[in-house]
Structures are given as C-alpha cells and as structure tokens.
Amino acid sequence: MALGLTYATSQTLVRMRLAAFRHALKDQSRVSWIGTGALLGLVLAGGTIWVAATGDQDLLLVALAVWMLGWVVGPLFAGGGDETLKPEYFSMLPLTPRTLSAGLLSAALAGVAPVISLLALLSLVVLGAQLSVPVALVALPVVVLQLLCFVLASRLAVAVYGVLLQVRSGAVLAAVVNAFILAFSAQGWALIAAFVSTDVQGTMASAARFAPSGWGLVAVDAAGGGDWLRVLLAVAGLAVLAVVMFAAWSTLLVRRTTASRTGRKPRRLLTGSGPRDAAAAKEVRSWTRDLLYAHRAVFAVCYGLFFCLMPLAVGWDGMLPWAGPAALVMAGSMSANLYGSDGTALWTTLMTPGSAGPDVRARQRAFLLVFGPVTVLITVLLTWWSGSSSSWPLVLSVLPALLGGAAGLVVATSVFAAVPTTDAHKRSGNPLNSGENEGETMGIVWVMLILVSLTAGPALVAALAWSWWGVPVGVASGVLAWWYLGRVAADRLEQRGPELLTLLRHGRSTTEQAKKTAALAEFPRWRRNLANFCLGFGAIPLFPQAVVPAVFKLTGNNDTKSWFLALHLDSRWRWPVITLMATLGLTMYAYGALTYLNAKKASRPDG
C-alpha cells in the first residue's frame, strides 16, 4: 500500500511539473532562456560523448566531475534551482516524508536539465560499447544511478544551504564557501598550477576517479577488464550514496516544512534624531539582521579577497591591490534590487509624506557604511603587502569612484528596474528562492557588473595619465555619481512610488506580460536565443580577454599570460586583440540589452 501511494504521488507530481513546464513555454522570454540553456547543454553533452568516443578516460573523468559540480553549484547561483513544486505546498497532505521526497525527486527528474545530463552520461554507454556489448549493457543501469546521484546531490546541496542561511553563522559560512567556488571558477588555474607540476589532467583524473562522479566510469572500466567484484563495489557505492542522500534530503525537508520561525526580541530599539537618522538606522539594521543581506555582504567581500589572493599560489601578487575594488563591484551587483527585496513593506515608506529622499539617502549611507571601511582597509593592507608603489595612485583613484558609483547605482537600479521577489515574511524554507523572476534578477546582476565597473573609468584613465591626480578625479566622480543618481532615484520614487508598490505586490500585469510576450514573439527565435547567449557570455571577451590584459599591459606586468589570449601574441598584436575583445564583449551586451529593451518599450501602455 505504501509503495502504491508513493507511485501515485510521484505520478501526480510529475504531471504537475510537466503542466507547469508547458505553462512556462507560453512566456517567450522564458522560452528563449530555456532554449539557450538547452542548446548550450546539448553542445556540452555532445562534447562529453565525443570525449568518450575517443577513449580518453582521464578527460572523461574530469568532464563527468564538472557535470556533477555543475549540479551541486549551479542552483546556489540560480536562486535555489527549479522549485516549481515547493515542499511547503504539500505540508498539509497526509504524506510521509519518504513519500513526499520520492514524489519531489520524480518531479525533479522530469525536466530539461536531467534529460541533457542523461545524454551526457550516455558517454559511459559509448565507452562500454567500445569494449564489448555486455559492458555496454552494464553501463545502462550505471547511467541511471549516476544521474540519480547528480539530482540528489543538487537537491541536498540546496537543502543544506537553506539550513545554513537560517542562522547567522551558517549564512556567513555559506557565503564564504559560495565566494570561494565562484572565485575558483575564474582563478582556479593558479591553484591547479601551484599544486600540479606536470600532469594536470592526469592528477585531476586521479582525484575525479575517487569522487562519486567517477564511480560509474570505474564500473564500466572494471567490467571491460572482467573485474566483476570492482563493478559490484562501484555500483553498490552509487546505490548506497543515493539512498544516504535521499534519506538526508528527506530529513531536511521535514525540518523545512515543520520548523517554526518566530521573531526575536530586538536587543536595542531603533533611535534617531530625525527622519534621515531613523531611516539610516533602519537600513543598517537590515544589513546586520536580515540573513540574506548579511550573506550577500560577506559573499561580496570574500569574493574580492579570493579572486585576488588565489594568484599568490603561483607567486603573482599583482592582483592584491584590486581586492577591494573587486569586492565593491560584486557588492554593487548583489545589491541591485534593494527595493525589490523590500516587497510590500515599501508601503510604510510611501505612506510617510516626504520620505522618499531620506529613504534613498539612508540606503546609500548604509551601503557606504557596510562596504566602505572594509574595502578601504582591504585595499590599503593588500596594496602595502604587494609592495607595488605604482599601484597606489591607481587603486586610490578607483576606490572612491566605485564607492560612490555603486552607492548611486544600487538605488537608481532598484527603483527603475525593480524585480518582484517574495516578501521576507513569506520566504520558504529555501531562502535562495526569492520568487519566479530569478532569471530577470540575474540579468540585472550581470548588467550591474558592467555599470559599476564603468564608474571607475574616468578615475582610472586620469590615474594612468597623471598618476596621483587621478585621486581627486575619483573622489569627484564618486561624489557626483552618489549625489546625482540618488537624486534621480528619490525623484522617481516620489513620483512613481505607488506604481512600484503595485509591481512589487502583484507582479507585472497580465496585459503587460502579454504585450511583452507578443513583442518578443515578433523577433525571430534565433534572435531571442542570440540575445540570451550574448547576455550570458558577453563577460568572457570583455573582462578576462580585454580588461584584465589591458590592466597588465598598463601596469607593466609582462610575465603572467594564463588564458589571456592577447598576452600570448606578439607585442604588436596585443593592443589590437584587446581592443577587438572589448568591442566584441560590449557589442554582445548591447545587442542583448537592446533586444529586451525594445520588447519592454513595446509592452508599455503607450508603446
């Protein structure tokens, strides 16, 4: 009877998941993102199968490890992954934790990502077919178990992460781990080069063979050699791991759906001598008491540190002075939806006459208080540690420009381009999931990475041309950006506050969504997919292939080449390639942004 109930529950939840997916296909914007992601996944899956066809087991082990890492890490950067069916929806039903977990797991398998991962894992069958037909047959159940472990590892990672974000120490720890993983994806080459002298691929393959992602390949390889005991151990290991992860996930789901969340008595009441001081005190408390705010702040600072400290593993200290600016760029990007995070609480501000200006300035002051002292301290200490006297005028010019620019952009962006999210008091047991607009939120984060970086342009150019004269230019540009963008945001909030509150409370109207969908539908599918591709990958030619090599050239660093294409070429070709890459990156961003901007204009009532 229990088995029948589990089967019926799983069948029902799978149908619900597929129905939700069909509904999502009516939104042309989401279809474009899904199509772009699916296309990229198919390319990667095809590459994995091609690696298996060549018989290179070491490279295949590394590829499978990357797939599993993507399943574990990906949801942490995408709002907790796809939670169309939240466990809270079914907490009142008479279902045991195991039954509900089995149903949710079945629903999780009914998606685009599992299908693409299944195609990638068919590389094990391709590898087995090269050995013999029986080995290929052995690979079939191994593929199923390996996929099950991928999905369970993803769900368990999100559940553990959600538990950590419920307490302050856990939120800090999760931010540190998250920052390290993201920084490693960009600067991990330094750590690999430091600990691996010659055979990088072989060493990584040896480590991947012991990881769960490699157990399936170990089973196939052992079957080809006739070592059936090893096959049995590898398959049993995957099965036991799946059972353990399923049990742990079920336990965390019970905690998520039954744990009570009561408020705490404040240790100290808010005080203020006037509206501006009271608003500022409220905003500072938000950064210290809201665990998601605290998580983002720690993440931004740690990312800047990790990103610039990792090259020390190969003896290169040229990135040290830029840890503070890197942290500020990330902080501005992560804070781009301040008013969207408020949700319906915005009504308390709107109901107070004349509160728009003080509220905007309070958010700017809180941002400066949270990130200003720590980034200045990091910049001064690490620049002194690097011993690079030529870096002082550069970083001291860029830092105030970024501080003011970020403090101005976070309020202006959050007023003009707010994204509706789940109210703080309605957050689910997965704090990573903040609503149905995660794709739009991530798009704003990517755009803010560019905008915040550009605010340092005048100061950097002045410092490169006139050395210490760049400092007053940086201070002036930072103050101007802080004042002007804050004023623009306050005026907008004063004039269009009710519309913003309506957006945050109800989301975009059905009419607006329909007009936006119709506007996007007028564009060819290839253009929508190309726009998504440009927005997702425009950072690759712009930053690592243009900005970073340009900084190296301007600061006289000719030793570090890494994966920067321009630095591997003859000196006469370096600046043309840097310029070409910068143009390519900016063009990709401009094309993607203009595509959606035109659709947004067409969706307006007067469009």
- Residue range 215-226, pLDDT digits in tens: 888 899 888 888
| Higher local confidence (pLDDT), 15 or 534 | 15
DSSP state for residue 543 in the 8-state scheme: I
Provide the CB-side half-sphere exposure for 418 (13 A, CA).
Answer: 29
Contact between 223 and 138 under an 8 Å Cβ cutoff? The reply is: yes
Helix (H) or strand (E) holding 211: none
Q: How far is 229 from 216, CA to CA, in rounded Å?
A: 14
Same structural domain, 187 and 161: yes
Which of 54-63, 235-244, 544-553 is the most confident on average?
235-244
DSSP code per residue over 253-287: HHHHHH--------SS----SSHHHHHHHHHHHHH
Same structural domain, 354 and 472: yes
Q: What is the pLDDT of residues 361-378, one digit of tens each?
A: 989 999 999 999 999 999
Domain final position from 226, 258, 290: 258
266, part of any domain: no
Same structural domain, 53 and 155: yes
267, part of any domain: no
268, part of any domain: no
Contact between 288 and 294 under an 8 Å Cβ cutoff? The reply is: yes
Q: How far is 451 from 600, CA to CA, in rounded Å?
A: 20
pLDDT at 405: 93
42, part of any domain: yes
Same structural domain, 123 and 32: yes
Provide the CB-side half-sphere exposure for 434 (13 A, CA).
Answer: 25
Domain final position from 477, 504, 531: 504
Contact between 206 and 46 under an 8 Å Cβ cutoff? The reply is: no
Same structural domain, 122 and 168: yes
226: left (phi over 0), alpha (psi -120 to 50) or beta: left
pLDDT band of residue 148 (cuts 50, 70, 90) is: very high
Contact between 287 and 370 under an 8 Å Cβ cutoff? The reply is: yes
Pair of tokens at residue 428? 């689910």
Same structural domain, 18 and 30: yes
Q: How far is 485 from 519, CA to CA, in rounded Å?
A: 30
pLDDT > 70: what percent of the chain? Answer: 78
Mean pLDDT, rounded, for 420-429: 64
pLDDT at 198: 45
pLDDT at 607: 44
Burial class (CB in 10 A: 0-12, 13-18, 19+), 110: middle
Domain final position from 449, 472, 504: 504
pLDDT > 90: what percent of the chain? Answer: 19
Query: pTM for the whole thing?
Result: 0.69
Q: How far is 193 from 311, CA to CA, in rounded Å?
A: 10
Q: How far is 163 from 290, CA to CA, in rounded Å?
A: 15
Same structural domain, 232 and 200: yes
pLDDT at 516: 57
Same structural domain, 241 and 291: no
**Which structural domain, as residue segments, surrounds residue 534?**
508-607
Pair of tokens at residue 170? 């856990």
pLDDT band of residue 523 (cuts 50, 70, 90) is: low
pLDDT at 94: 80
Handedness of CA 383, 385, 388, 389 (dihedral sign): positive
| pLDDT higher than threshold 80 for residue 193 | no
Pair of tokens at residue 278? 């009271």
Same structural domain, 295 and 251: no
Q: What is the pLDDT of residues 268-316, one digit of tens each?
A: 555 666 677 777 777 877 787 777 788 888 889 999 999 888 888 767 7
Work out the number of other CB atoms within 10 angstroms of the CB of residue 102.
21
Which residue type, as a one-letter code, is found at position 83? Answer: E
265, part of any domain: no
In the chain, how many domains are there? Answer: 3
**Which residue is it, tokens 């403090």?**
407
pLDDT band of residue 69 (cuts 50, 70, 90) is: confident
| Higher local confidence (pLDDT), 27 or 353 | 353
Q: How far is 101 from 108, CA to CA, in rounded Å?
A: 10
Which residue type, as a one-letter code, is found at position 309? Answer: L
| pLDDT higher than threshold 80 for residue 331 | yes
Same structural domain, 217 and 280: no
Q: What is the pLDDT of residues 443-476, one digit of tens each?
A: 677 778 888 988 998 998 898 888 888 899 999 9
| pLDDT higher than threshold 50 for residue 142 | yes
Q: What is the pLDDT of residues 341-364, one digit of tens each?
A: 777 778 778 887 888 888 899 899
pLDDT at 517: 58
Closest C-alpha to 464, from 386, 394, 549, 389: 394
Q: What is the 3-state secondary structure (H, E, C) of 85-145?
A: CCHHHHCCCCCCHHHHHHHHHHHHHCCHHHHHHHHHHCHHHHHHHHHCHHHHHHHHHHHHH
Mean pLDDT, rounded, for 233-258: 87
264, part of any domain: no
470, part of any domain: yes
pLDDT band of residue 213 (cuts 50, 70, 90) is: confident
Quote the mean pLDDT of the chain: 79
Handedness of CA 134, 137, 142, 143 (dihedral sign): positive
Same structural domain, 494 and 559: no
41: left (phi over 0), alpha (psi -120 to 50) or beta: alpha
pLDDT at 424: 64
Same structural domain, 425 and 532: no
Mean pLDDT, rounded, for 548-568: 67
Closest C-alpha to 517, from 24, 116, 71, 67: 24
Q: How far is 194 from 203, CA to CA, in rounded Å?
A: 12
Closest C-alpha to 135, from 219, 210, 48: 219
270, part of any domain: no
Q: How far is 513 from 492, CA to CA, in rounded Å?
A: 23
| pLDDT higher than threshold 70 for residue 202 | no
